[in-house]
Amino acid sequence: MPAVSAEFVCRMEDVLDLYAEPHDPARPIVCFDETPIQLIGEVREPLPVQPGVVARYDHHYRRNGTRNLFVAFQPTVGWRHVKVTERRTIPDYAQCLKELVDVHFPTAQTIRIVQDNLNTHTPWSLYEVFPPGEAQRILRRLEFHYTPKHASWLNMVEIEISVLGRQCLNRRIADDAQLTREIAAWEAVRNAAQAKVNWQFKTADARVKLNRLYPS
């Protein structure tokens, strides 16, 4: 079996087996990723909605820069959190890991993170940002599970990011304040509903549908 297929299969089955496990509050599964968004301002004030008339927007708009959204999703309980940052640098990523450990899952024994292979998504990022003792403290609470290259569909947070885009970000958002407000409202509604992903693809399915990747 080619090395690329071996790596793909190993990582795929690792993630799928993780998804098949029952919920364990001491060892939560958190799917993690980031996505960019462009801030778009109005050149002219939109005409508000009226009875029988939809709101109208000028086709001209103002680019107000971009922001990054770090999204964490716990599929077993239907919890998600979105953090808005100016960039997606190593310090931003490391701070998100620290918040997972200290703020969102302070009593968890081990937080099992599903993420892709972005060059910032490494344990070493913690050591680049925090003193060695603090980096080690955070790292001891984390366990990383990487999706195969070119297989972001295996990360359930991608589905949640898609929902975020359709339900919240499919409009012109002009500035940080509006972006933060809109996302917080969306997050609160989704968390209150404990919205989950109906994940059906299992390791046994992969061995049939992707059998070309396995040794014959």
Identity of residue 172 = R
- For residue 56, pLDDT over 90 is answered with no
pLDDT tens digits, residue range 95-148? Answer: 999 999 999 999 999 999 999 999 999 999 999 999 999 999 999 999 999 999
> Residue 69: in which H helix or E strand, if any?
strand 61-74
Q: Comparing C-alpha atoms, which of 115, 126, 145, 25 is closest to residue 79?
A: 25
Tell me whether residue 9 is in a domain.
no
pLDDT band (50, 70, 90) for residue 208: very high
User: How many Cβ atoms from other residues are within 10 Å of residue 105's Cβ?
Assistant: 21
Tell me whether residue 18 is in a domain.
no
The answer to whether 111 touches 105, Cβ cutoff 8 Å, is yes
So what's the pLDDT on residue 172? 82
Tell me whether residue 153 is in a domain.
yes
Tell me whether residue 7 is in a domain.
no
Q: Which carries the bigger pLDDT value, residue 47 or residue 140?
A: 140
- Extract the tokens encoding 118: 């972005």
Instruction: Report the CATH number at residue 73.
Output: 3.30.420.10
Write out the residue range of the structural domain in which residue 182 sits: 23-44+53-207
What are the start-end ranges of the H helices in 35-131?
90-99, 124-129
pLDDT band (50, 70, 90) for residue 64: confident
Phi, psi of 39 (to 5 degrees): -85, 130
The answer to whether 130 touches 98, Cβ cutoff 8 Å, is yes
Tell me whether residue 3 is in a domain.
no
Query: How many domains, in total, are found in the chain?
Result: 1
Tell me whether residue 166 is in a domain.
yes
Lowest mean pLDDT among 24-33, 69-78, 206-215: 206-215
Tell me whether residue 149 is in a domain.
yes
Tell me whether residue 214 is in a domain.
no
What are the start-end ranges of the H helices in the chain?
3-20, 90-99, 124-129, 132-139, 157-167, 176-192, 203-209
So what's the pLDDT on residue 91? 97
The pTM score is 0.89
- For residue 59, pLDDT over 60 is answered with no
